[in-house]
Amino acid sequence: MNLATIATEDACHLNSGCGFPAPNAEIFFLKPYSLTLFGHHLLISKSIILALLVALIVITFFVAASRSSKLVPTKLQSIGEQAYLFIRDQIAREVIGKEGDKFVPFLGSLFFFIWICNLMGVVPGAQFPVMSSLAFPVALTLMVYITYVYLGMKHQGPIKFFTNAAFPPGVPKAMYVLLTPLELLGLLVTRPVTQAIRLFANMFAGHLLITTFTVGAYYLLSPSIIGALGSVTSFGVTVVLTGFEMFIQGLQAFIFTLLTAVYIGGSLHAEH
């Protein structure tokens, strides 16, 4: 049962005989909007619209902030500089080092795109975290994956990159039997898979949790003491969870960008 049917079935409350309509994974498969453009019939989902909107917001913000830069910054330029400095000092220089400055635009775009996409999960009117559709984290992760494999092959040599990763120095020879397959698997499979799944699963779980308590508050709303108290409590939990969810959204965008920087840093220099 999805939210739309819950909203239309007005009678479904605590004492009206129907069970608690627990939300499930179906709430993430929204009905796409259909429109006809230049004679082509198109189906556009909410996540695509939100992703495009977020891209537009991020681009507009940074273009507006960096256009006509002055020595004494305006308010907007000041905020833009803070955002840039955060990525440069907290992520790029901290993880990659001085060479990391080159990657600040890439890391910054990733961070702000993911963060604002996640934030759409709590923005009234949107209320759908774009990254809870697995395709978006997978696309971003593929981009990161291609970047660090390419950089590794460029800086360490096409074959050296894989042998450096497969045979870490300072390990007894016999251990390579165990270590080599694990290291290669980690480099080529586990890294991208966990990076995508982490972002997706965090957004998925958070959205489902908020929905469950929202539906709970609506379901318990009935003329009885348990219903009234339960409904108020459930609504209070929703508010608290929304705040917590906003923290998690920022943290996940940060972790995604931090891991990207770690992988790029690892590709630039072999472990020694």
Partner 1 sequence: MSILAEVTGSLGSIGYGLAAIGPGIGIGIIFGQGVQAIARQPEAYGVIRQNMILGFALAEALALIGFVVPFVFGA
Residues near partner 1 (CB under 8 A) are: 24-25, 94-95, 194, 197-198, 200-202, 204-205, 254-255, 258-259, 262
CB neighbour class for 235 (10 Å; exposed up to 12, middle 13-18, buried from 19):
middle
Distance in Å, CB of 28 to partner 1, minimum: 9
Distance in Å, CB of 24 to partner 1, minimum: 7
- Closest CB to partner 1 among residues 65, 148: 148
- Closest CB to partner 1 among residues 25, 37: 25
Q: Phi then psi for 49, rounded to 5 degrees?
A: -60, -45
Exposure string (b/e) for 33-57, b if CB count within 10 Å is 16 or more? eeeeeeeeeeeeebbbebbeebeee
- Closest CB to partner 1 among residues 95, 144: 95
**For residue 269, which of 159, 165, 189, 141 has the smallest C-alpha distance?**
165
Report yes or no: 214 and 21 within 8 Å, Cβ to Cβ: no
- Closest CB to partner 1 among residues 25, 174: 25
Q: Phi then psi for 36, rounded to 5 degrees?
A: -110, 125
- Closest CB to partner 1 among residues 13, 28: 28
Residue appearing with tokens 């291609």: 146
Distance in Å, CB of 195 to partner 1, minimum: 9
Distance in Å, CB of 215 to partner 1, minimum: 17
CA dihedral 166, 168, 173, 174 (to 10 degrees): -60
CB atoms under 10 Å from CB of 32, counted, come to: 14
Reduced to 3 states (helix: H, G, I; strand: E, B; else coil), residue 37 is: strand
- Closest CB to partner 1 among residues 33, 244: 244
Distance in Å, CB of 22 to partner 1, minimum: 10
Distance in Å, CB of 231 to partner 1, minimum: 24
Reduced to 3 states (helix: H, G, I; strand: E, B; else coil), residue 35 is: strand
